[in-house]
Structure 1
Amino acid sequence: MASSPTEYVTHHLKHLSVGEGFWTIHIDTLFWSWVTGLIFLGVFYGAARAVTAGVPGKMQNFVETILEFVDKSVGDAFHGPKDLLAPLALTIFVWVFLWNLMDLIPVDLFPVLAAMVGIEYMRVVPSADMSATFSLSLSVLALIIYYGIKGKGAAGFGKEFLFHPFGKNPLLVPFNLILNTVEMIAKPVSLALRLFGNLYAAELIFILIAMLPFWIQWLPGSAWAIFHILVIPLQAFIFMTLTIVYIALAYEKH
């Protein structure tokens, strides 16, 4: 697969893709996003089908704990209707968690298996791909705008965008517009780059550890994996919480 350390790292960081430039499609990211999404749906659907009013099983307890945690997180920050936001927060938390969890798979496993069937490149951590994190954060941006209009009305949303924070003085409208535009753009950018940066760095460290002699890999690899177990749910929680907060701020009248 690679004959030098540089080629080894480069090979593991290259996507299976089609197209060029802006229109490049990362097939491996899409594939593993679908796989983790289907796992999420399968587990929760199975738990819902098996729910009982009697003594709950371990899977029901696990799913109910996640649901209660997400519902409480939404209820603490958002005071509007939760019919869309609660399922959205649950989806973001579990899906991003599963994306991140893929980073604990040995870095050579799926690239080697893919090479056996003639596939040259294979990356399995969607959250280490900026295209995936930005796609998710742009979806959040669309919902921020939607909830801003839903909570304040189109006129109220536009009025706040033009006259906040410096008031209704016409001379200050351009400054308000610039500040609010920068703030609006910064939200999805910060969401995407925070998640991408943490998982890309973690993936790169696992790749570097895999270059060590086999007999010593387990020591730094185990230590980094244990630390990374803390990062995986934390990044999912941060992405979910900031999404809830951003939408709540957009919905509330200031």
Structure 2
Amino acid sequence: MTGNNIVDLAPGQLVLAAEQIQPGHHPTAEFLGLTFNTDTILSTLVAMVILLGLGLYMARGASAGKPTKLQLIFEMLVDWVQSQVQEQMGLRTPKGVVQLCVTTFSFILIANWLAALPTEHVAPPPTADVNLVYPMTLLVIIWVNVVSFRRKGVKQYFGHLAQPYAFLAPIEFVTQYFGRPVSLALRLWGNIFAGTLMVAVIGQMPAYVLWLPNAGWKLFDMFIGALQALIFSLLTIIYFGEAVEEHEAAH
């Protein structure tokens, strides 16, 4: 071993050059004194265009008598989200929750599945960058707290932090406003980032065996991407459900 390189010890053995695999490295651009990860912006725009394109295409061909396959898939997704929301929140569902969960699930799924394309070096999954998942998580947490505040009022909103014991209020505060958003973001980011890292490692294998592990890993990566989109949406529904449930219990 010399420096940061692991040298080839035998013919056909995996050779890793540390400088070729740089976890968390992004090409950047400066604008108004701010640094932007250009690959994350590009892949986010790609995922948005795909999602909007599919939505417009589905809406154009939507039919009650003879629905298309894409329309059936979308309707299944909406029905599943509506059933989960109704199970968690009953009839008093906060406005926009179903739309939020359907949109976040669809966007995260498409963004994660960008890893299956042979363009991961140019447009990697944007969910592998914490600079995207943190704002997404903040959107959910802020929305949840706005709904909770509007339904409970000031006294009940802050009073629940002291339940069941007042001395637990600091722990509940940290959990509610820091623990939840961080865990929600890192759960999504960690799994997708690990997938992109594994693709980079596998990419260092000899060309004559590269296709087999790379194809298998990308299929597994797509499964993990779908699972993470599902978990993010379910947790969003649960957080909204807890806000509504506490309000209903007080009445």
TMscore range, shorter length: 0.7 to 0.9
| Residues 1:180 and 2:189 aligned together | no
| Residues 1:213 and 2:213 aligned together | no
* Aligned-partner residue type, residue 103 of structure 2: T
Match of 2:234 among 241, 244, 250: 241
Structure 2 runs not aligned, ≥5 long: 1-15
SS at match of 1:24: strand
Partner of 1:114: none
CA shift for structure 1 position 96: 0.7
Q: Is the 8 A contact 1:147 1:250 kept in 2?
A: yes
CA shift for structure 1 position 19: 4.6
Query: What do residues 153-181 of structure 1 show as CA deviations (whole Å, max 9, x unaligned)?
Result: 222102212x2121xxxxx3xx3331221
| Residues 1:103 and 2:118 aligned together | no
Match of 1:64 among 60, 72, 75: 75
SS at match of 2:205: coil
Partner of 1:137: 137
Normalising by structure 1, we get a TM-score of 0.83
| Residues 1:5 and 2:17 aligned together | yes
Q: Which runs of 4+ in 1 moved over 6 A?
A: none
Separation of aligned partners in 2, 1:100 and 1:165: 40
Q: Is the 8 A contact 1:14 1:123 kept in 2?
A: no
Query: What do residues 229-253 of structure 1 show as CA deviations (whole Å, max 9, x unaligned)?
Result: 3211110000000011012112222
Q: Is the 8 A contact 1:100 1:125 kept in 2?
A: yes
Q: 1:155 to 1:17 in 2, by over 3 A?
A: same
| Residues 1:51 and 2:43 aligned together | no
Higher helix fraction (1 or 2): 1
CA shift for structure 1 position 126: 0.7
Q: RMSD in angstroms over aligned alpha carbons?
A: 2.1
Separation of aligned partners in 2, 1:37 and 1:146: 26
CA shift for structure 1 position 216: 0.4
Q: 1:31 to 1:15 in 2, by over 3 A?
A: same
Separation of aligned partners in 1, 2:153 and 2:61: 42
Q: Is the 8 A contact 2:112 2:222 kept in 1?
A: no
| Residues 1:42 and 2:53 aligned together | yes
Partner of 2:35: 24
Separation of aligned partners in 2, 1:218 and 1:64: 36
Partner of 1:157: 157
Structure 1 runs not aligned, ≥5 long: 112-121, 167-171
Separation of aligned partners in 1, 2:104 and 2:148: 20
* Aligned-partner residue type, residue 197 of structure 2: L
Separation of aligned partners in 1, 2:52 and 2:168: 43
- Count, aligned residues: 229
CA shift for structure 1 position 214: 1.2
Q: 1:131 to 1:85 in 2, by over 3 A?
A: same
Q: Is the 8 A contact 1:15 1:28 kept in 2?
A: yes
Separation of aligned partners in 1, 2:56 and 2:65: 19
Partner of 2:8: none
Separation of aligned partners in 1, 2:30 and 2:88: 41
